[in-house]
Amino acid sequence: MPQVEQSIKVAKRGTAEMMSKCVERGMLLDKNEDGIDGLVKGLFLITEGELSAAALVGMGDPAIPALRRVLLEGMPSTVYLPRQRVTRVLGELGAFSVLSEYLQREKSIADPELRLAEEAVENTAARELGRSRSEEAFKTLIAVAAKRRLSGAIESLAQFRRQEAAPLLVAALESDFCRSAAVDGIRLVRDAATPYLIESIRSPEPSHTAETQTSLRRRRAALCPIAEQAIDRNLWPSLEFLLHDNDEWLQSLAAEIAFNLHHLDSAIRILLKHLTSDDWLLVDEVSRFLGQHLAEIRPLIDRELSITVVPHDGVLAKRTRLLRWILTFGEKHKGDDLHV
């Protein structure tokens, strides 16, 4: 929290300094239409852009019509920063109805570079709209997210902490651009999201035997919020099949859930098997989890160490080294509240 508070202080100080410059240069004196139009044009200049944005905020509501005109009637550009400034100023002025109108407008942009640039503007508009926390803003963001995977809309929806957003947050896990924000939002409405998460986990595309990487990333992301905390035992039958999934990460996460539900034999067997995986990130995750629960698995590790001394076997040698590391890690952090 101290870092966040410091960031806010810096931002406020920066805004105050910007406004002081506007006053010094007399940018707030001409509040007629020509003066406002001149400031709007300044948003598109490299050297004047941020200063013009601060001056327009200082102008207040009279600046909204000109900004609305630029946002709704202006042409998209691959240089999208000026249009992002327009959306930020509208957000600062509380012109959320304009942002809502912009986001709900159908946009037909054939050029892929222009379309990607305008999407950056839409993301900024969605983030600004989310600041209002109003019912109207929530409905707009729901409508936008239902049509498209827009990261700004997903981020804003997450901040509402509304159960109604759960299906859309889970659906957004399929997007590489939205996944991180969607997971954060799901954590805030975990109970409401759980049925949709399980449905997503149980739906590899196009099939279990020919699953795409996108589908695999979605299913992994869907399982993480479930694995992070204790779950209802009644959910386990819906997830138990993951112990035999083709993906090592899904198997390991499912094994951690099983371990916490005291299905120790099957869980430990799978986790120990993955100590010899070629994926070192997975090996690290499994090793730390086992080290955190050393008290429960110590007898099994001692037994494994007594029977795995086989000369010239690289796989078993690696496994043995990791088992010894787990013992060291567990003893070192005995009693610590570790989150693995």
What is the rounded CA–CA span in Å between residue 151 and residue 13?
29
Q: What is the pLDDT of residues 175-187, one digit of tens each?
A: 999 999 999 999 9
pLDDT of residue 70 exceeding 50, the answer is yes
What is the rounded CA–CA span in Å between residue 89 and residue 98?
11
pLDDT of residue 299 exceeding 50, the answer is yes
At 289, list the tokens.
Answer: 């989890």
pLDDT of residue 16 exceeding 90, the answer is no
The arithmetic mean of pLDDT across residues 301-323, rounded, is: 65
Check residues 94 and 208 and name the one with the higher pLDDT.
94
Can you give the pLDDT at residue 310?
54
Residue 259: CB atoms within 10 A of its CB come to 20
Q: What is the pLDDT of residues 73-92, one digit of tens each?
A: 999 999 999 999 999 999 99
Can you give the pLDDT at residue 316?
64
Per-domain residue ranges for the chain? 1-132, 256-340
pLDDT of residue 13 exceeding 70, the answer is no
Q: What is the pLDDT of residues 220-251, one digit of tens each?
A: 999 999 998 888 899 999 999 999 999 999 99
The angle that helices 179-188 and 190-201 make with each other, rounded to 10 degrees, is: 130
| pLDDT band, very low/low/confident/very high, at 22 (cuts 50, 70, 90) | low
pLDDT of residue 296 exceeding 70, the answer is yes
Can you give the pLDDT at residue 47?
84
Q: What is the pLDDT of residues 89-110, one digit of tens each?
A: 999 999 999 999 999 999 889 9
What is the rounded CA–CA span in Å between residue 265 and residue 193?
30
What is the rounded CA–CA span in Å between residue 285 and residue 267?
14
